[in-house]
Amino acid sequence: MPTITTTNLNETKALAAEIVGLLKPAERATVLALYGDLGAGKTSFTQGLAASLGVVENISSPTFVIEKIYDLPVGQSFKKLIHIDAYRLSEGGDLAKLGFETIESESENLIVIEWPEQVADIIPVGAKKISFKFIDDNMREITYEI
């Protein structure tokens, strides 16, 4: 599994853009599970990913709304980006109530989940794991299995 050390926010965003370029829709939705402590860079990574997919809206942490859905521009291989922050959830059933099974069954959905450990029982086996580790103020270690 590659581990990359980024030395600033923009490098984390650039890595996200690189990783998203490697993803192709499969039979079901593509799920990225972003692990790591508060401030480790999960939302920043999602911002880089969204920007590279042509999302112009500001991506903020959806902690208080749990889930945000962005339509992707025509021409992208994915049609929707779904950004989930499971920080306030305590089991997969909480996500199921938000219709997770349906969004996860759609091939052209790209689902990014922060705090996947909170809803571990609903994370699909095929989810791609990306782990963020705080090294110092500007440095993060990012390990991914894509």
Q: Please tell me whether residue 146 binds ligand ADP under the rule CB under 6 A.
A: no
Angstrom distances, CA of residue 100 to CA of 3, 45, 54, 59: 29, 22, 24, 20
Quick count: other Cβ atoms within 10 Å of Cβ 139? Answer: 13
β-bridge partners, 3: 143
Separation CA 75–CA 72 (nearest Å): 8
Q: Please, what is the minimum distance in Å from the beta carbon of residue 114 to ligand ADP?
A: 6
Nearer to ligand ADP, 21 or 39 (CB): 39
Applying CB under 5 A, which part among 25-33, 41-49, 91-99, 128-136 lies near Mg ion? 41-49
Q: Please tell me whether residue 6 binds ligand ADP under the rule CB under 6 A.
A: yes
In this structure, are residues 45 and 140 in contact, taking their beta carbons and an 8 Å threshold?
no
Residue 138, CA atoms < 13 Å, CB-side half-sphere: 4
Fill in the per-residue mask, 49 to 88: x = in contact with ligand ADP (CB under 6 A), - = not in contact. ------------x---------------------------
Applying CB under 6 A, which part among 7-15, 18-26, 51-59, 97-105 lies near ligand ADP? 7-15
